[in-house]
Amino acid sequence: MTEHEPFDLDDPYLVRLRSLALALPGAAEKLVVGHPAFYTRKVFAYFAMSRKVDGVWENRPNTVSVVLPEDERLALLERAGASIPGYIAKSGFVSLDLDEDTDWDEIAELLEESFRQTAGVRLVRALG
């Protein structure tokens, strides 16, 4: 990790997230405003997005942010470890903490739903 990156490229949570995200059809990774982002034609997941707490930006090094349908987004926000990320929330993104208790099957499902919200019809069809 450098002083300019809020994460380590070899962070085990990022490595696990990367393997799930890049397994989706046509998915790729790039840095967007200094954060790993997974995308096809649009970004469907970010790693380590910040959030504002009491007017102060807080770095969240182990989070995944996904875009979900409004009802699913609101339901997820009711859970501990879920939050509204800075900057990207207006696009429907919600963040979820990643830790030793993370249910990676659930993360895979959230990534797939976010992918379905952002990818083109051909790529969504390729999911099967």
| Contact indicator for 83, 52 with CB cutoff of 8 Å | no
* pLDDT number for residue 7: 66
Domains of the chain from N-terminus onward: 12-120 (3.90.1150.30)
pTM for the model stands at 0.91
| Collapsed DSSP state (helix, strand, coil) of residue 45 | strand
The pLDDT tens digits of the residues spanning 26-76 come to 999 999 988 899 999 999 999 998 887 777 777 878 999 999 999 999 999
* Dihedral angle computed from the Cα positions of residues 118, 76, 112 and 66, in that order, rounded to the nearest 10 degrees: 50
* pLDDT number for residue 121: 95
* pLDDT number for residue 6: 57
| Collapsed DSSP state (helix, strand, coil) of residue 89 | helix
- Where does the pLDDT of residue 4 fall: very low under 50, low under 70, confident under 90, or very high at 90 and above? very low
Would the pLDDT of 1 be above 50?
A: no
Beta strands in the chain (DSSP E): 28-32, 35-39, 43-47, 51-53, 56-58, 63-67, 82-83, 93-97
Pairing type for strands 93-97 and 82-83 reads: antiparallel
The pLDDT tens digits of the residues spanning 84-124 come to 998 888 899 999 999 999 999 999 999 999 999 999 999 99
